[in-house]
Amino acid sequence: MHNIQDIIEARDFILSKTDQSPKVGLILGSGLGNLADEIENPTSIPYSEIPHFAKSSAIGHANELVIGTLNGKTVAAMKGRFHYYEGFSLDEVTFPVRVMKALGIENLIVTNACGAVNTSFAPGDLMLITDHINLVASNPLIGPNNDELGTRFPDLSEVYSKELRNIALEVAKKQNISLQQGVYAWWSGPTYETPAEVRMIRTLGADAVGMSTVPEAIVAKHGNMKILGISCLTNMACGILDQPLNHEEVIEVAGQVNTKFVGLIKGLLEAM
Ligand code: HPA
């Protein structure tokens, strides 16, 4: 389990590489890392160099922290993230969020590629996360609580900031981007769900299912950050269409929505 000293060491290392002081954190999901290429005056720091960061190996992830400006805001963008299914502990998965908070970041935009469970959604749609369901029998806050980082029993009545969601809806409207809204269910992976599991997930009240985001959002909420979650629905979840799923398709569709996704995030940064 990481301690405050680890967080401080990671923060100080990052601050030794840049004079910029990021205000917004971005976690870029599978196939969505291109956004980091638009960051101006970038300082890119490989995760492998940052003290106490784990190393990610997922395809479609570049594994670096990019600090710079995007549409007038100083951002710290995670190009690639750590997944539970890679074998990282939830402490390792969420450590970068602790470091972002220590850097002074109060607003966190978390993105992902996921499957559409709601049959009125279509591949290529973007979805604003309104709430989540934790289907993984674990929680990143299990273990001793450090009161300096947050409270023992955090309230999750509004994980995904209503204020930021309203800004996102306005930006989407202005840009003529259709933005779905719904509940994201966290599935551990690395297997995709079975058709029966997708039916279960729909019955439980979720609109989308994916293998990330929830641990980071829980830790950000623990740290009292404001969170905005945006999902790229890359495919209909298993069993909805009569066809198998594959990761290449996920990356391909995420790439196809790149223009829309980048436009939305940039507009958001401007409006925040
Ligand atoms: N299920 C879980 N995770 C995913 C999916 C899916 O259908 N698509 C992309 N990530």
User: What's the confidence (pLDDT) of residue 56?
Assistant: 61
Q: Does the C-beta of 117 come closer than 6 Å to ligand 1?
A: no
- CB–CB of 68/42 below 8 Å? yes
pTM, full prediction: 0.96
Res 211 pLDDT > 60: yes
CATH code for the domain in which residue 222 is found: 3.40.50.1580
Query: In this predicted model, what pLDDT tens digit does every residue of 236-255 receive, in sequence order?
Result: 999 999 899 989 988 888 88
The alpha carbon of 209 and the centre of ligand 1 are apart by a number of angstroms equal to 6
- The domain total for the chain is 1
The alpha carbon of 115 and the centre of ligand 1 are apart by a number of angstroms equal to 4
Res 59 pLDDT > 80: no
Q: Residue 127 belongs to what domain range? A: 4-271
**Beta strands at 226-236 and 107-116: parallel, antiparallel or unpaired:** parallel
Query: In this predicted model, what pLDDT tens digit does every residue of 135-193 receive, in sequence order?
Result: 999 999 999 999 999 999 999 999 999 999 999 999 999 999 999 999 999 999 999 99
Mean pLDDT score, 206-219: 98
Query: How far apart are the C-alpha atoms of 167 and 171, rounded to whole Å?
Result: 6
Q: Does the C-beta of 114 come closer than 6 Å to ligand 1?
A: yes
Give the count of beta carbons closer than 10 Å to the beta carbon of residue 81: 28
Which ligand 1 atom is at minimum distance from the Cα of 115?
A: 7
Six-digit token string for 36? 């980091």
- Strands in the chain per DSSP E: 24-28, 40-46, 64-70, 73-79, 107-116, 126-134, 179-186, 208-210, 226-236
User: What's the confidence (pLDDT) of residue 190?
Assistant: 96
Query: How far apart are the C-alpha atoms of 220 and 149, rounded to whole Å?
Result: 10
**Beta strands at 226-236 and 126-134: parallel, antiparallel or unpaired:** antiparallel
Kindly state the helix (H) or strand (E) to which residue 20 belongs, with its residue range: none
The share of the chain scoring above pLDDT 70, in percent, equals 98
User: What's the confidence (pLDDT) of residue 61?
Assistant: 55
Query: How far apart are the C-alpha atoms of 265 and 50, rounded to whole Å?
Result: 26
What amino acid positions are annotated as catalytic residues?
30, 61, 83, 85-86, 113, 211-212, 235, 247
Res 62 pLDDT > 80: no
Query: In this predicted model, what pLDDT tens digit does every residue of 88-106 receive, in sequence order?
Result: 999 999 999 999 999 999 9
Q: Does the C-beta of 250 come closer than 6 Å to ligand 1?
A: yes
Res 60 pLDDT > 60: no
Is residue 125 very low, low, confident or very high in pLDDT (cuts 50, 70, 90)? very high
